[in-house]
Chains A and B, each alone.
Chain A
Amino acid sequence: GQQLNQSPQSMFIQEGEDVSMNCTSSSIFNTWLWYKQDPGEGPVLLIALYKAGELTSNGRLTAQFGITRKDSFLNISASIPSDVGIYFCAGWGRGGNTPLVFGKGTRLSVIA
């Protein structure tokens, strides 16, 4: 099946630093979604990307849909303690009925 490779697996950063994480795939995805999951909660949608090359922002978050449609990245600027959590990329493959596939997540820790 389709696989998403997400990196890095974990990050420890100082408050105020910028963060970058990415997701790659061996196959083409039509839509990329980025989620954040806090402990004991379900994933919360942060950003949705629908077009190759698209760059979308949501507050301090910026995400891009790669030109090749096989990758996406998420940047967080000026990190704050509440950014702590696990970030997942997810993609819809080709075909209307393919399931939403997830990466294994990037665990972000912010040191105040």
Chain B
Amino acid sequence: GAGVSQSPRYKVAKRGQDVALRCDPISGHVSLFWYQQALGQGPEFLTYFQNEAQLDKSGLPSDRFFAERPEGSVSTLKIQRTQQEDSAVYLCASSLYGGNTEAFFGQGTRLTVV
């Protein structure tokens, strides 16, 4: 596609429910990033893929967070047993190569845990 696409745009989950957020990067982009953005804050890094390899997951806040990109294209961020503090906008970005290149963001998924 022309840009990074994320789905769903909005997700309401009951506390304890599992959720899966999808990211379709720009076609041909090698690198894919997930960020978490709390209200009024800048995006905070979660994890980074180069093709199907997860090179950095140091930003994942707990072991309830899991991300995969099995075929080096679409990525899924899964949150198990959601908690209220997980409520945030989850942003996905892709870039043609790794670092030092332009990174393009999707519109984000707003997750609300009730």
Contacts and interface: CB of A to CB of B under 8 A. Distances in A.
B102 A48 contact: yes
B31 to A, nearest CB: 9
B1 interface: no
A104 B43 CA distance: 8
Contacts of A90: 103
Interface stretch (A11-19, A39-47, A57-65, A73-81): A39-47
Interface of B: 4, 6, 33, 35, 41-45, 48, 50, 55-56, 59, 91, 93, 98-108, 110
Contacts of A50: 100
Nearest to B106: A42
Contacts of A45: 102-105
B43 A102 contact: yes
B108 A41 contact: yes
Interface size class of A (residues with CB under 8 A): 20 to 34
Contacts of B101: 31, 92
A99 B43 contact: no
B56 A42 contact: no
Give the 4 A-B CB pairs with smallest separation, nearest first: A42-B105, A102-B42, A99-B45, A92-B99
A110 B48 CA distance: 36
Contact of A100 (B45, B106, B107): B45
A31 B98 CA distance: 12
Contacts of A98: 99
A105 interface: yes
A101 B35 CA distance: 10
